[in-house]
Structure formats: C-alpha cells, structure tokens
Amino acid sequence: MQKRKAAITLLTLSLAVTSIVPGSFGTENPLDTGEKTSHPATVDVYDWFQIGEYLKACEYVRFYQSIADNLENTFTKFSDLLVKEHCSSQTLIKQLVEVCKTLPLKDPQHQWSNEELKPLWDAQGKLYNAIIEEEKKTPESCVFFNLGSGALDLAWGIPQIQSNQEMLKQRVESTGQTFATLSSYELYKGVYGSLNPDVVHAMEIIMSVSSKVADPMEELTDADISRAVEAGKVIRALAKQHKLLK
C-alpha cells in the first residue's frame, strides 16, 4: 500500500492516500458516468462533480490499470471538463499521461516499488495542487468538486482498502468532516440547501459514520463501513442521473 500526503484545504481535509492493490484488477472504470444532458442550470455543477471524481481516482494505481487500454481517451475527457470550466491544468494532465506510458500498467501481477511510482505521484501531485486552486473559485464548484471526490472515495475506493483499517478510518472520517463543512459553513449554505434531499440524506449517513471514528467510546463496525459505501454509491448514482439538485 503506497501512501502520500496531499495539500490540505478547508474542504479537502483527507490524506491523499494512494492504493496499490496487487493481483488481477479487471477493467472497471469508476468514472463511466454516462452521457450528460443539456441543462443550463446544472451542467456546471455536474462538471465539477466529475472533476472531483477524476482527481480522486488519480490517487489509485488501480485506476490507471483499469484505463490502461484507453488511457489517452480517458484523460482527454478529464481535460475537456477542465477546459469547459476554464481551468488551466491541461498541460499537467499531458505530463501525467506521459508518465503513465512509461509504467507497466497492463501487467496485473507487477509488484510496484516506491521508487518506480515516484514519477507518477509527482505528476499526480502537481495536477492535484493546480485543480485544488481552481475548485475554490465559486461555492458551487467547491461543493460539487468535494461531493464528487468524497462519493468516489467511499463508493469505489474504500472497498479496495478493506484490509487496511487505519487507512479506511482516515478516509471515512475525512470525507465525513468535509461533508460536515459543506453542510454548515455559511459560504456553502445556499448550495447545500439546493441539494436533492436524497443526496443530503446520504451525506448525513456518511457524517454519522465518520463521527464514530473520532469517538473513543464508539467502535466502527463493518456494518458502518457498508452504510458509508452504499451512501457514496447513492450520491454517484444520482449524479449519473443528473439528480443532485432539487
């Protein structure tokens, strides 16, 4: 398991932990969110939701392996979202893709070393830092970026690190803390109030599970983790249906 710290912002409170899972990974791409519809009032927030998903997925070796046969097309979609939202990180995406091309991503049995992965995490870290600055520009971009990032981490990331309880707790706790900030910070109250009640309910489940991690009198159970994972899946499913808003 490869682990690295990412820059911390008000709403990105978690460690950017990279996950290396040896063995057969299959071909699942966690970012297949379907075709977007044209909805002037919501298209911007769905773009930022997907940007959050993409950036979170880039913390996992498994993601790069899952898209190894479609690497450039996948990152072109990511880049197109950034262009649409007037971000300036496209060059950093190209650099990340070039690093990926030097790695044996198509070998599921490959045993990764820290030294071998360093160029990948350096390129990913530069992209991360650049996008974190971009997502702060409006309350909407900030909220939906973090909603997408947290939902993917729970729904897709957590099942891959079940054997590492400490890392699992860190991720659940940080996502819950981030969602708690989204729900209570004055700057984001208007955006939070516009969310679909089903999204709010899923976020509340995640916040409830997260609160148990910090409480020494509580024990985080497998059932708690499952609730958080399922809540993350609900948010992603609603995003795919373009139903994040009321």
Q: Which pLDDT score is estimated for 165?
A: 87
User: Does pLDDT of 14 surpass 80?
Assistant: no
Q: Give the model's confidence band at 10: pLDDT under 50 very low, under 70 low, under 90 confident, else very high.
A: very low
Question: Under a CB-based contact definition with an 8 Å cutoff, are residues 55 and 91 in contact?
Answer: no
Domain segments of the chain: what residues?
A: 40-137, 140-246
What is the DSSP code (8-state) at residue 138?
S
Question: Under a CB-based contact definition with an 8 Å cutoff, are residues 158 and 228 in contact?
Answer: yes
Cα 21 to chain centroid, rounded: 17
Which phi-psi region, left, alpha or beta, contains residue 107 (left: φ > 0; alpha: ψ -120 to 50)?
beta
Q: Which of 162, 86, 189 is nearest to 131 (CA)?
A: 86
Q: How far apart are CA 67 and CA 82, in angstroms?
A: 19
Question: Under a CB-based contact definition with an 8 Å cutoff, are residues 240 and 34 in contact?
Answer: yes
Burial class (CB in 10 A: 0-12, 13-18, 19+), 217: exposed
Q: How many residues are listed for the chain in this entry?
A: 246
CA-to-CA dists, residue 36 to 44, 156, 243, angstroms:
11, 21, 12
Question: Under a CB-based contact definition with an 8 Å cutoff, are residues 237 and 202 in contact?
Answer: no
What are the tens digits of pLDDT across the range 161-192? Answer: 888 889 899 999 999 999 999 999 999 999 99
Q: Which of 126, 227, 139, 240 is nearest to 175 (CA)?
A: 227
What are the tens digits of pLDDT across the range 127-146? Answer: 999 999 999 999 999 999 99
Distance between the two ends of the chain, CA-based, in angstroms?
40
- Predicted TM-score (pTM) of this structure: 0.83
Q: Which pLDDT score is estimated for 30?
A: 65
